[in-house]
Structure 1
């Protein structure tokens, strides 16, 4: 396996132009991610994880440091990355199918190819029969499925998922975690997934990058060798949960 993402010495400080006050959010962040690896960035809320994801996505600029995707410096958003947000931003005037097709439409794909590819990913996420529904008529979990299908349909090298299940109820959240693993097994992609939920991190990750509170720094990268499907109450799962919890508590 080879490195597809390199985050090198990334720092981010927000400056309030009016008061001239500053807020350091990210401090010297360094890590690499291998191709097709599922990496979870885990840390407390308000620790700069979303800011880091936005920098990797090219939606925000680092104060210093660089991010490389396949050895190419990230300077803006690009088709090699797709992002799934916590609050899925679907176009309410478009159907489920049209939302999934949107990225292909703006890139000039012909209609037949758009329909074929969109249907492939709608089937993959289990939305058969809902192609013509509008977002207002579907549940929160189904909206997240639309967002995931739309992201995969863009054919990115890297999937960025920023707490995508944080707004869902517990039962739907567990279901979506299982779905993400099922989809990932069928459609290999490099995935970076942000969460502040330790069970979610352990259930999903090949490797967990643990970060501190602001200003956020990388504490440790932990490889998770648990077999899949994972058992939330297995001895090894609970041991790792205790170990990572203790680690994050020390950093507060």
Structure 2
């Protein structure tokens, strides 16, 4: 049996106090970063191929169902505003379509041929990388998508939380983060979901850094889509150029991005 489906280390949860429930959930959550640490060599291999493909014009795709699919969609949607990357360079696809982000679509994850149809709408090709996300490692939608992608020359990776899974078997660069039984037996939105989210953070952040979208430790290409981000951008320009707020604000408005504002002075 998959370890994510194993019996919880805790029982009689309904009789626990609120404090004990929270403390025990937190105790279980502390094991997640340790599980990810063991998978860093696998994550590194996957990141290297993504960077190489994206440097040559390729894209990164995520596919998944349920919680796993939602996490992929979230990660993909955060890349353009955070790093100024055009929409369509990182794409998240969830089984059942965008409506499944808010409401579960019955049996969507059970169709092994639908993922490739969904990917073909984006003209996925051999320049791209596909990551299948599945806590269980046995989701037919993800297995089928990875299998079809490999057959068409697309590099494949995965993020799963069980060892020796059917999903990992279809991935050129599998990442297995073994999180063990959940606090509530089988509820993989908990530790497994956390592990997937942390791993996605590591993958996409490292890729964006290696693609040049971070300077020092700053998001110099971020989109200035609200007052908070404009203020953050002004402070980045202030810090980089050692100039007053008002001057930095004027430069930022003039050039439209932190990178361009800073370079306008440094290259003047």
* TM-score > 0.5, shorter chain as reference: no
The structure carrying a bigger helix percent of its residues is: 2
Rg (Cα) greater in structure: 2
Which of the pair has the greater relative contact order for Cα pairs under 8 Å at 6+ separation?
Answer: 1
